[in-house]
Amino acid sequence: MSKLSIMAYTFGIVFFLVSCSFASFYGYKVVTHDLPKEEKIVKKYQYHFVMVPEELDNDYWRLVEKGARAAADKYGVQLEYVGPKQANIEDHVKTIEMSAASKVDGIMTQGLSDEQFTPLINRVVEKGIPVITVDTDAANSRREAYIGTDNYYAGYLAGKELIADTKGKANVAIITGTFYANHMQQRVKGFQDAVKEEKGIHIIAVEESEISRVKAAEKATQILKDHPEVTAFFGTSALDGIEIAQMVEKYQKQNQIYIIGFDTLPETIEYIRKGTIKATVVQEPYQMGYGAVTMMIDLINGKKVTPVVHTETRILRLKDLPLSYQDRKVEIR
């Protein structure tokens, strides 16, 4: 080998090693936090906020994001929407920690569990970064404010609706998002409290879907097999009702089984139109996102904000859909 080629070879190796160490040092940050150049932020935006949802591509969270982006565009906020690809508490926590480390002006996220989120939120707030909880509150933390559904009340409403629709006689299986999350526990508790005085209502199973469509379908199938006495389902997170409906149709039990779900995603509405899902609990994800951003701006500007803002919650049934929609013969699926 000539002297020149030895030098070129050595230079190549050194260059490669240096690039690798840069990539591994900054890699995670670059992937999860696609921060624009600092200069751009300074010129274009007044604030830099991060929203960390439970699951990035979940249709429900995309609506929260849409609302947040509308407010962000209006008020000159650089908004990053980052979080787990699939619901995962460790990734969720890590993303909040990374956002706090990059010293953003405010963080909007769920207060999923007291154990993991309360100390974390407190640490972030102590660093001087305001936190607003959205959709799920960590009421015992030092978060500045919460905007979202009153989850206990929402579960209670679902229970009362089920009693009315089944004339007080039902064997109910509940499929809930996760057992550990505050809002899911509150929805289940509200439901249990609403039906507890009803002699004819029995809760025969409570299972968790882990916010996964596949798991929700598996759990629904299992319940249909293990509990032939089941006559009603309550799905407490956005995708649960959809998957329950799919399984109930698969086993052709639409006429025997009553379903009440959560949220108003297009698939849920389509199942209501078909009559497979009888009712759903309406949440206002767009409002949550929009309101969280405006509240954060107010906080930063030293304005007083209402610490707990409950967005509207109500029940939606076939008769509440516009007539044109009820008659529609086109199917989304």
- Give yes or no for residue 108 binding ligand BGC (CB under 6 A): no
CA nearest to 225, candidates 298, 173, 169: 173
Burial classification of residue 303, based on how many CB atoms lie within 10 Å of its CB (0-12 exposed, 13-18 middle, 19 or more buried): exposed
Q: Interface with ligand BGC includes 177 (CB under 6 A)?
A: yes
Nearer to ligand BGC, 166 or 182 (CB): 182
How many chain residues touch ligand BGC (CB under 6 A)?
A: 15
CA distances in angstroms from 309 to 33, 114, 145, 182, listed in the order given: 29, 20, 8, 17
Q: Which residues of 261-278 are buried (b: 16+ CB within 10 A; e: fewer)?
A: bbbbbebbbbbbbeebbb
DSSP 8-state code for residue 319: G
Q: From the CB of 311, what's the least distance to ligand BGC, in Å?
A: 11
Q: For residues 259 and 297, which CB has a smaller minimum distance to ligand BGC in the complex? A: 259
**Which of 47, 60, 117, 191 lies at the binding interface for ligand BGC (CB under 6 A)?**
60
129-148 positions binding ligand BGC, by CB under 6 A: 135-136
Q: How far is the CB of 253 from ligand BGC (least distance, A)?
A: 23
Nearer to ligand BGC, 239 or 272 (CB): 239
Backbone angles phi, psi at 57, to 5 degrees: -95, 10
105 contributes a contact to ligand BGC by CB under 6 A: no
> Closest separation between CB of residue 327 and ligand BGC, Å?
28
Q: Cα separation of 322 and 320, whole Å? A: 7
Q: Single out the residue of 78, 237, 264, 268 in contact with ligand BGC (rule: CB under 6 A).
A: 237
**Least distance from C-beta 172 to ligand BGC, angstroms?**
18
Q: Among residues 184 and 203, whose Cβ is nearest to ligand BGC?
A: 184
Nearer to ligand BGC, 47 or 146 (CB): 146
DSSP-derived pairing of the beta strands 131-134 and 145-148? parallel
Nearer to ligand BGC, 130 or 155 (CB): 155
Identify which of residues 210 and 298 has a Cβ nearer to ligand BGC in the complex.
210
CB of 283 to ligand BGC, least distance (A): 6
Q: Are strands 106-109 and 232-235 parallel, antiparallel or unpaired?
A: unpaired
Closest distance between ligand BGC and the C-beta of residue 273, in Å? Answer: 20
- What part of residues 238-297 is at the interface with ligand BGC (CB under 6 A)? 238-239, 262-263, 283
C-alpha distances in angstroms, 311 versus 73, 75, 131, 153, 159? 22, 21, 18, 12, 19
By residue count, the chain amounts to 333
Please say which residue, 99 or 283, places its beta carbon nearer to ligand BGC. Answer: 283
Cα–Cα distance measured from residue 249 to residue 229, given in angstroms and rounded to the nearest whole number: 17
Q: Give the phi and the psi of residue 120 in degrees, each rounded to 5.
A: -65, -50
Q: Nearest approach, Cβ of 226 to ligand BGC (angstroms)?
A: 24
Q: How big is the chain by its Cα radius of gyration, in Å?
A: 24
Say if CB 40 and CB 7 are below 8 A apart. no
User: Which residues would be at the binding site for ligand BGC (CB under 6 A)?
Assistant: 54-55, 58, 60, 135-136, 177, 183, 211, 237-239, 262-263, 283
